Amino acid sequence: MMDCKKALAEADGDIDKAVEWIREKGLAAAQKKAGRIAAEGMAYAEVFSDGAALVEVNAETDFVATERPVQRVHQGCVLCGGQVGSCGHGGPQDPPLPARPV
């Protein structure tokens, strides 16, 4: 909200210029974050009858990487990677998945 207000002030009330200002600011913020290293994370593996899947997902902090909803997404990625076609994994509200951390 405050960015929108500031953008309109910077653009003298011109909505199109304000939108452009917000886009430029967003790109600058994204570039600033691009250099961050995501060194914390977990790897998940699952063996299937016709192969196996291994997925490593990293985050900036171990706090994020060890959160249960994030782990469930990782596990879902492993299951999707090991299947042909779509897996239909809906997210953290789904029942526990069989993949295990390694």
Q: What is the pLDDT of residues 70-102, one digit of tens each?
A: 888 878 888 777 664 445 444 444 444 455 554
| Nearest to 74, CA basis, from 59, 85, 63 | 59
Q: pLDDT per residue over 20-33, tens digit each?
A: 888 888 777 777 77
Predicted TM-score (pTM) of the model is: 0.45
Which residue type, as a one-letter code, is found at position 63? F
Q: For residue 91, what pLDDT is reported?
A: 45
Give 36-54 pLDDT, tens digit per residue. 777 788 888 888 877 778 8
Q: Which residues contact 24 (CB under 8 A, 6 or more apart)?
A: none
Q: Does position 14 have pLDDT exceeding 80, yes or no?
A: yes
For residue 98, the model assigns a pLDDT of 52
The contacts of residue 87 (CB under 8 Å, 6+ apart) are 76, 79, 80
